[in-house]
Amino acid sequence: MKVGATRYERVAALIEDQVQRGALRVGDRVPSVRSLSRHQRVSVGTVLEAYVRLEARGLLEARPRSGFYVRVPHVDRPPEPRFRARAAAPAPVGPAAVIVSVMEAAGNARVVPLGAACPSPELLPYRALNRFLRVAIARNPTHSSRYESSRGSEALRRQIARRALLSGCEIAPADVIVTCGAIEALQLCLRAVTRPGQLVALESPTYFGILQVLEALGLRAVEIPTHPRDGLDLGRLAAALRTHRIAACVAMPTLQNPLGAAMPLAAKRELVTLLARHGVPLIEDDVYGDLVYGATRPPAARSFDRKGLVLYCSSFSKTLGPGFRVGWVDAGRFTTEVDRLKFMSTVATASLPQVVIAHFLERGAYERHLRRLRAAFQAQTLRMSAAIARHFPAGTRISRPAGGFVLWVELPEGADAVALHRRALAESISISPGPIFSAAGRFQRMLRINCGHPWSPQIERAAATLGRLAG
Ligand SMILES: Cc1ncc(COP(=O)(O)O)c(C=O)c1O
């Protein structure tokens, strides 16, 4: 360290030294500003200054509400995708054959799974879940010999209500309706608050499953530009609310698929207030909320709701396994209607998966599992990000997700993501091309890459192949 270094330079050198020695590795969270200030006996401002300087030099990365992390060791890591705040005219949602091919590829073990957003089975607690399954069957051999209540297993609803406190929501077990995955929750909510032909405001890009539900219900989409880091553009949403008669808004404020964006807390509050002022229900999709990197998850938008206008949906698909098909909704003031629709559509969700998941949650194993899962996803996402930086053509841009396990990648001018998807499939690699995330078929140069699998030579080769095909 140079003689006469200022205090912040000394703190910065300390962190740099830890990185060089390998004590802090790529993706690790560095000590919090407060704790380092205590240990080094310097002011909080000094540590902050040191971290900001290290960030400017590309060594650290600040993540909103989460702290500072060691960055991928790429001096010239590709920039983030651009945010284009173009408004779109309301559009009917058309059929997308490409979605079918992405989902089919997800079921094919010979295809490298970079398309559908599915975590690797290796990362899921299937052994513990199987144990609970055996216990459930032994304890109650007649477990499926009657219809479960349309609202779902009481034990599971109690666990869901308890966990909702972690996202800042006060939910009573009686308010929870268990559904066949989050997708049924979203569908029931849309049916409860809209009529065919009406307009629904959506993030753009958005999860393609939501577009398919809109199509099935004969609804039209108003796509609201969504920033890769900060989420839904509230100015554009306010303008759309003034211009159109919007029946509902569907959004993922805590962790957006495919962008990985996390709305700041103040923006979440504003979103809830803005929609409430117009009397428009918010259907909040929080499937990825528990996967935000860091020690604690941010509050959901639902935590700001005072009018019962937020219908809060989630599931265990990304954390315990999509095959259980267990999701849930607290539909606020629409609970009676959603319950009625649930009964009319499938009577109830299958009993056995609910019992198994309730046991798992009761044992307190979920939080520990989530901590491990978040760390694995973060490391995998950073590895993929570095591989894309190495292999993809110049001009490629990569998102900096706040959590979860997908990357949103912008290819250089002239690229065609759907064509790339086809060429990649011919080489047994699946990706999700950008246009399936838009009702109007936007994002022709964008891709979503699934990073839900532990790093392997096969995935490294697939990244290299994709880079070659994209070049
Ligand atoms: C944002 C989002 N919402 C909902 C779903 C559907 O979840 P489930 O499998 O629980 O129906 C998914 C699945 O990929 C998703 O990504």
**Residues lower than pLDDT 70 in the chain:** 1-5, 20-21, 56-58, 72-76, 87, 92-96
Q: What is the DSSP string of 116-149?
A: S----GGGS-HHHHHHHHHHHHHH-TTTTSSPPP
Mutate to test the pocket of ligand 1, among 213, 315, 319, 436 (most ligand atoms within 8 A of CB): 315
Q: Which of 257, 324, 325 for a ligand 1 pocket mutation test, highest count of atoms within 8 Å of Cβ?
A: 257
CB of 209 sitting under 6 A from ligand 1: yes
Signed CA dihedral, 275, 276, 281, 287: sign only: positive
114 alpha carbon – ligand 1 mean position (Å): 16
8 Å CB contact between 222 and 440: no
Ligand 1 binding pocket includes 420 (Cβ within 6 Å): no
pTM of the full predicted structure?
0.85
Closest by Cα among 471, 458, 469 to 114: 458
Say if ligand 1 is within 6 A of residue 117 CB. Answer: yes
At residue 74, the pLDDT reads: 47
Beta carbon of 330 within 6 Å of any ligand 1 atom: no
- What is the model's pLDDT at position 66? 82
Residue nearest to atom 7 of ligand 1 (CA): 182
Enumerate residues 6+ apart whose C-beta is below 8 A from 456: none
Residue 243 carries which side chain, given as an amino acid letter? T
pLDDT score, position 73:
56
Q: 163: part of which helix (H) or strand (E)?
A: helix 154-164
pLDDT tens digits, one per residue of 78-131: 888 988 877 677 776 665 677 877 888 878 889 999 999 999 999 999 999 999
Distance 242 CA to ligand 1 centre (A): 30
Query: Of all atoms in ligand 1, which is nearest to the CA of residue 316?
Result: 10
Residue 78 is predicted with a pLDDT of 83
Which of the listed residues 177, 317, 377 should we mutate to test ligand 1's pocket, taking the one with most ligand atoms within 8 A of CB?
317
Q: pLDDT at position 54, please? A: 82
DSSP character string of 383-411? HHHHHHHHHSPTT-EE---SBSSEEEEEP
Cβ atoms within 10 Å of 459's Cβ, excluding its own: 20
